[in-house]
Amino acid sequence: MSLLLAFLGFLGFIVGLVLIVIGLIKKKKMKGGLVLGISVVIFIVGFILTPVDGTESGKQAGTHEKVETVTKPKEETPEEKAAREAKEAEEKALAEQKAKEEAEVRAKAEAEAKAKAEAERIAKLEALKINGSGDTATKKFKLEKGFVIVDATHQGSSNFAVKLLDANANMIKLVVNEIGNYTGKKIYAVPTGEYQYEVTASGPWTINMSQEIPAEVAPEGKVTGTGDSVVFMNISKGAKTVAFTHDGSRNFVVKANDSVLLANEIGTYSGSKVQKVEDTSIYYFDITADGNWSMTFE
């Protein structure tokens, strides 16, 4: 529209000039001046509007051109689709095979590590099995820091004593001290080190040791037994009432974690006391008795 106004203004400008020239030649007053003025105004208005319209038209033209340049993605041919799917299936199969092989390697490594650990555990237990007859200074053995469970037997009529010695022959603990036949368990705490037993006996004897928590741990409550025994119990923290009974004629001693003396009586006994438990945990008890006994935590 602006271009049309500019064109008409320019055309009117030419017509106005022609009329003025004719008027001067014929010496007549013509309307060329009025036509010329109107034409100049129209031309100026068209000229002023031209940049704006031109810019917008340019934008529209540019936009139109950009739309026209957008191309649609090329559609796959059946052959191309089949080739792509075959490649993807092959890559997926290779990835699954790799993952399977890695899982098999991990499983094999875990099984080997488990078997090795079990073999080491069994070897350690075998190293902690000692037997003999009569008075004996046993072979030396190594213990890790913690507790040691001793399962001992003796077949004889006189004294059966088991002394624990350190690497410098210092007596650490009198583990067992009984007369005649004996079957029982004891537990005590030790630091890491090398040890040996000095055994006094009148017949064959066995000493089997372990530093593992047994598979069966008693829940908080009542446990019973006969003679020297070891008990592991899961106890919650707090103030506990601890009750004991014993029907034997000799010492009845109960010690928790080889540090807290809970009972130290002779002969038949029945009684209870209050014991503060600092932390919820598994505790072990060394019980010395020559008869039936019971222990209750509640």
Domain boundary among 26, 47, 62: 62
- 286 within domain boundaries: yes
Task: Say whether both 217 and 204 belong to one domain.
Answer: no
Task: Say whether both 165 and 241 belong to one domain.
Answer: no
- 93 within domain boundaries: no
Domain boundary among 188, 208, 228: 208
- 222 within domain boundaries: yes
* pLDDT on residue 82: 92
Overall domain count for the chain: 3
Task: Say whether both 152 and 230 belong to one domain.
Answer: no
Contact 133, 203 (CB under 8 A): yes
- CATH, residue 248: 2.60.120.380
Give me the domain span that covers residue 196. Answer: 113-208
What is the tens place of the pLDDT at every residue in 199-238? Answer: 999 999 999 999 999 999 999 999 999 999 999 999 999 9
Does the pLDDT at position 3 exceed 50?
yes
Segment 259-278 shows an average pLDDT of 97
Q: Which residue has the tokens 């890695």?
A: 102
Task: Say whether both 190 and 132 belong to one domain.
Answer: yes
- 249 within domain boundaries: yes
The residue that leads in pLDDT, 63 or 240, is 240
Domain boundary among 208, 223, 242: 208
Task: Say whether both 120 and 185 belong to one domain.
Answer: yes
- 106 within domain boundaries: no
**Gap between the Cα atoms of 178 and 207, Å rounded:** 14
* pLDDT on residue 161: 98
Task: Say whether both 225 and 200 belong to one domain.
Answer: no
Q: How far is CA 15 from CA 23, 29, 35, 295, in A?
A: 12, 15, 7, 131
Sheet holding 218-219, edge to edge: 218-219, 229-235, 281-288, 251-256, 260-266
